[in-house]
Structure 1
Amino acid sequence: MEYIGIDLGSRRCVAAHPSGEIILNELGGMTTATLVSFKDKERLLGEAAVLSSSTNPTNTVDHINMYLGKSYEDIAMQMKLFPCPKAPFVQTKSGPAAKVQYDDGEKHFTPVQLIAMVLGKIASNVKGVEIGNIHAGIAVPSGWTDAEKHAVLQAAKIAGFGQAGIVGRDAALARCFHRKHPIKDEKETKTILIVDVGHVTTNAAIVQLNVTGETVLAHAYKGDLGSANFDLAVFEHFQRQLKASHGLNIQGDSRKGRRLLSACEQLKKLLSTIPEAVVQVENLGNDCDLSLTLTKKEFDALNQATTTALTQMLKELLVNSPPLASVEIVGGGTRKPAIQAAITAAVSDNVPLGRMLDSATAVAVGAAYAEDLIKTEDVTVADDVLALEKAMKARDETNFLIANKRNEIETFVYEIRGKASQKHGNLIDYNVVNPLLDAAEDWFYSEEAETATLELATQRVTELKANIVQSCSAYFAAVAKDEQALEAHLEAEAKKAALEAKDEDHDFRKLKTPDRMRLVMKNKDEGNELFRGGNVQHAAARYVKALTHASKFFDLSPEDAAEVKSVKLSLYLNLAQCYLKMEAYQKAVSNCKDALDLDGNNTKALYRRAIAYEKLKDYENAFRDIQEAFRLTPDDRAIIQCNERLKAYMKKQSEKEKKMWTKAFA
């Protein structure tokens, strides 16, 4: 069973492997939105629900973890912290539940069911592992009640995890800090304070560290103190101001209320770095835009009660505490100077504030490190609840496959239209082909396509491709002939190279290092000459021969080993360049990998592998490589151009995927 750590946040969740590697979401991001949205017969989970929170708010549920284990009255009070349109909660036989329109009718889902949906989405991002084979350690505030923790474990069971347990956020952060910054002196013991200010809650813990591990000596928790308090205070300030100055009565559950809240969040972020900020809000007044202005001094005054509460909470925690070596601050809330000042007021100016942990991922990574701290219990879930989640997952999978088929049609249409300017494009009769492509596009945007079954979508793809292949038989025959010729040529060159290298490759004599190096360099130099003359295939054969000799060194001194490593690195890079020119992109990827195994920060290898991945249409890996190359060599013009090209593509792809999800294809 594979273990992962999960940070169950009120706005975003993060998951990590025990290696510390973050589990990326389907868009390649490190976090998953704590959102569930419903539309027609579809449910949108995590990142897919982000756009729906503004376009379909009354069928979207956010801040779900804050509703776990609470009564209907508690939830109603909690929702007042988040003034914007959202799905309402009602009292049902199963307890408080969100009321949404789904599957042709009104449906009710409890917070436990909703969190189970989010957890299931996170598990689906773990590549190659079924959710039933995953053991999850879920980090929650240490101050949560037994009812809240029990609800999390019920949600994990509904989601389908093979096993799940709870770990406190304080313990997870302490473990993460100790793993990343271990105490190495057996005689050393130090005490730190970790303060975690999130969007809704604040956690703090006194942690003692020594060479053997970490111990949480004391912790404190406030479930009503977080970054949202600042947003609400500024929101209420401008509510009053706009009513007095413009006669506007802006309610939190309106679209104007959402725009105002978003502007207040923006002001909060700006005032973390500048003394005065101005934000323009579209269509806030009577068909006009309004400007909101706030100074840092005004912001601090509006939030005096919140910062005072934080200072008091920490002072009470620190009573009888050993002397602190430092204060580690994490969480988005600690970016605000007002919060940092409140923390300093509690611990004194002599104790430094540090940011030695990543605010976004530290809790999840700590939970991933803390499998030994996980606490679990037996929980029961009604069979009908388990069956409902299983049925919705099956529907999600079907809708995903349908969406892929629709995307396959769209991609195929674009590819065929683009072949006009490519080699052999003159063999395509677009007078015949264009009507077929137009009909496919018309269907793609039709109501029938929106409601198509998987069988119908598959049939459409098959028919389109068959008709195009039949209509463009001359083009596809020419392309296939080129591919066969290239393959035959490469195979012939490989055989030729093997024959040329026969004597040398079967030479197992233990040549002295200088003699063997002469053979390596002879073949490398010959390859360079052939490459400069445009004879790429023969150049590649020489480089392969040089690598064969380079593998036969023995008993090398450190200096000789370094020289051999350098030569092998250049040979792998040269081979990669050859294969790029021969359009053998998979071989180029393989040789770049070999080069990076020797030098993980080699920008040439990263750049050439990015180009190969791009040609293979593996854009995610291409973008990852070029980003790393750009980080290492930001001034290289070729890397800059490739980075901009791939960045534009990834942005376009992300927008396309979001559009796809929001069109009710989960």
Structure 2
Amino acid sequence: MSVVGFDFGNESCIVAVARQRGIDVVLNDESKRETPAIVCFGEKQRFIGTAGAASSTMNPKNSISQIKRLIGRQFSDPELQRDLKSLPFNVTEGPDGYPLIHARYLGEMRTFTPTQILGMVLLNLKSIAEKNLNAAVVDCCIGIPVYFTDLQRRAVLDAATIAGLHPLRLIHETTATALAYGIYKTDLPENDQLNVAFVDIGHASMQVCIAGFKKGQLTILAHSFDRSLGGRDFDEVLFQHFAAKFKEEYKIDVLQNARASIRLRTACEKLKKILSANPEAPLNIECLMDEKDVRGFIKREEFEQISAPILQRVKRPLEKALADAGLAVENVHMVEVVGSASRVPAMLKILTEFFGKEPRRTMNASECVARGCALECAILSPTFKVREFQVNESFPFPVSLSWKGSGPDSQAGGAEQQQLVFPKGNPIPSIKAVTFHKSSTFTVDVQYSDVSDLQAPPKISTYTIGPFPTIRSERPKLKVKVRLNLHGIVSIESATVSC
């Protein structure tokens, strides 16, 4: 049986497989370790991954990317609306209030949901794993951001079903990183806890996790995040800087041309990487627009100045993670930094100042999540033997039940009642029982108690409980079982009546 881990990123994806000798990152058809998360629709066929990225410059309006930002989110979400401004393809609101993606495919305009597009990306990743293993791939583990809502988690599971996959677990990306870090360490303490902060700055978001390690186990102490602080924000700052510069110097407006915008964004991303290793960098693009060649130049100091508003936001998730973990800075023994945008020197400087110690890079910044996913899949797989290592995961959001009484059954005269079921930091998985005194059908809402971090509607789902058998007791006891499963999805599992 296959043991596979998938890290689907906003920009690129990585596949890792577990073998008897350890974890391997799988190469795709182009012998590359990273596969772009792009689906490009053409006149005769669709191109996914590396082929899609190669076609995207020539066919920007039908090249669907950054799907991780769209999946499971309402079209009216202000964050989604901001993201849509920089995307070259057309997205409209569907009848259910969720985004619909429009693309020209096989000679006609078609609409796709983000879940369908993610299904295509996962299908491509599945085929990469199958070619490498020469075996069918079904069971897997998929890495997701810690801030994904219940709806987003369900959408990922739906996309996996479309791709013919059966995820044994949706694991938080920072938890997967912590697992990949800790399972191989032979010097973990028996009694004293080793506290490690993992800072993951990816293409579109920043996640922080503080984990406590002891011999044979990992406990997640706190999660925090900024959903819109990543490498693409630095790219966007450079893009806007040079777009304004070229408008003034060359009298061309790249914002009016989708192809020119894509070429400039790609050049700005390369420029950012050059600035990470060098104090200054040039920008040269031939025939960017209106048959004009453009030249630019920027120093690292100037780049950091124009990036100041982004850099100012880095400390907040760090402070929040420490506060939630109940630790002081000196209690954090090590800081591990991963993610594609973690190479920006200004970012490392902020982390060094905050923690008072140099961040370490003992793991591959891009591959650690996929490796952790493959390890978790191996742990959950009945056919694979892995060193004993326990992962104690925590849920980042508080979840409560709310209901209304009616008629003689009502407590507090029909007012809305609420009970916290899973507090913030509750272990995953978990089952809780809630007792009601009811004798007629009623509805219960499962909802987030605090949506200040989530920026999403509080309601997760609604359940109708009833009708009830005829019972002699005036106040029958109703025991409702609420489950928080391995994927971080909350559901009401059963309701039983006792007199």
Who is 1:628 aligned against?
A: none
How far residue 79 of structure 1 moved from its aligned partner, in angstroms, is 2.5
Q: Which has the higher contact order (CA 8 A, sep 6+)?
A: 2
Who is 2:370 aligned against?
A: 364
Contact 1:308 1:342 (8 Å CA) reproduced: no
> Residue type of the partner of 2:238?
V
Who is 1:65 aligned against?
A: 68
How do 1:82-481 and structure 2 match up within 5 A? 83=86, 86-93=88-95, 95-127=98-130, 134-251=138-255, 254-284=258-288, 286-319=290-323, 320-322=326-328, 323-348=331-356, 351-371=357-377, 372=380, 375-376=486-487
> Residue type of the partner of 1:260?
L
* 1:164 to 1:119, Cα distance in 2 relative to 1, 3 A: farther
Contact 1:7 1:363 (8 Å CA) reproduced: yes
Contact 1:132 1:162 (8 Å CA) reproduced: no
List per-residue Cα deviations over 1:3-39 (Å, max 9, x = no partner). Answer: 3111110111111123311122122221221010111
Who is 1:16 aligned against?
A: 16
How far residue 131 of structure 1 moved from its aligned partner, in angstroms, is 8.8
* 1:141 to 1:182, Cα distance in 2 relative to 1, 3 A: farther
Structure 1: segments with no counterpart, 5+ residues? 380-666
> Residue type of the partner of 1:67?
L
How far residue 154 of structure 1 moved from its aligned partner, in angstroms, is 0.6
Whole-angstrom CA distance in 1 between matches of 2:104 and 2:168: 31
* 1:197 to 1:118, Cα distance in 2 relative to 1, 3 A: same
> Residue type of the partner of 1:25?
N
How far residue 242 of structure 1 moved from its aligned partner, in angstroms, is 2.4
Moved more, 88-97 or 307-316: 88-97
Q: Secondary structure at the match of 2:187?
A: coil
How do 1:614-625 and structure 2 match up within 5 A? none
* 1:377 to 1:250, Cα distance in 2 relative to 1, 3 A: closer
Contact 1:194 1:204 (8 Å CA) reproduced: yes
List per-residue Cα deviations over 1:222-273 (Å, max 9, x = no partner). Answer: 1100001111111112222222333332206522222222222222111112
List per-residue Cα deviations over 1:86-128 (Å, max 9, x = no partner). Answer: 3211223363221111123111111000000010111112236
Who is 1:497 aligned against?
A: none
* 1:184 to 1:287, Cα distance in 2 relative to 1, 3 A: closer
Who is 1:487 aligned against?
A: none
List per-residue Cα deviations over 1:607-654 (Å, max 9, x = no partner). Answer: xxxxxxxxxxxxxxxxxxxxxxxxxxxxxxxxxxxxxxxxxxxxxxxx
Tell me how large the CA RMSD over aligned residues is: 2.3
Contact 2:2 2:136 (8 Å CA) reproduced: no
**Percent identity of the aligned residues?**
27
Contact 2:153 2:488 (8 Å CA) reproduced: no
Q: Secondary structure at the match of 1:106?
A: strand
2:48 corresponds to 1:40: no
List per-residue Cα deviations over 1:261-293 (Å, max 9, x = no partner). Answer: 222222211111222211112123653312111
Contact 1:115 1:155 (8 Å CA) reproduced: yes
> Residue type of the partner of 1:331?
G
Who is 1:464 aligned against?
A: none
Q: Secondary structure at the match of 2:261?
A: helix
How do 1:514-529 and structure 2 match up within 5 A? none
How far residue 329 of structure 1 moved from its aligned partner, in angstroms, is 0.5
Contact 2:25 2:371 (8 Å CA) reproduced: yes
Whole-angstrom CA distance in 1 between matches of 2:488 and 2:332: 35
Q: Secondary structure at the match of 2:73?
A: coil
* 1:126 to 1:284, Cα distance in 2 relative to 1, 3 A: closer
Task: Give the alignment's TM-score, normalised by structure 2.
Answer: 0.71
> Residue type of the partner of 1:368?
A
> Residue type of the partner of 1:91?
E
Whole-angstrom CA distance in 1 between matches of 2:127 and 2:292: 44
Flag the structure with higher helix content. 1
Contact 2:60 2:259 (8 Å CA) reproduced: no
Whole-angstrom CA distance in 2 between matches of 1:148 and 1:131: 30
Q: Secondary structure at the match of 2:292?
A: coil
Whole-angstrom CA distance in 1 between matches of 2:370 and 2:219: 18
Contact 1:167 1:367 (8 Å CA) reproduced: yes
Contact 2:254 2:289 (8 Å CA) reproduced: no
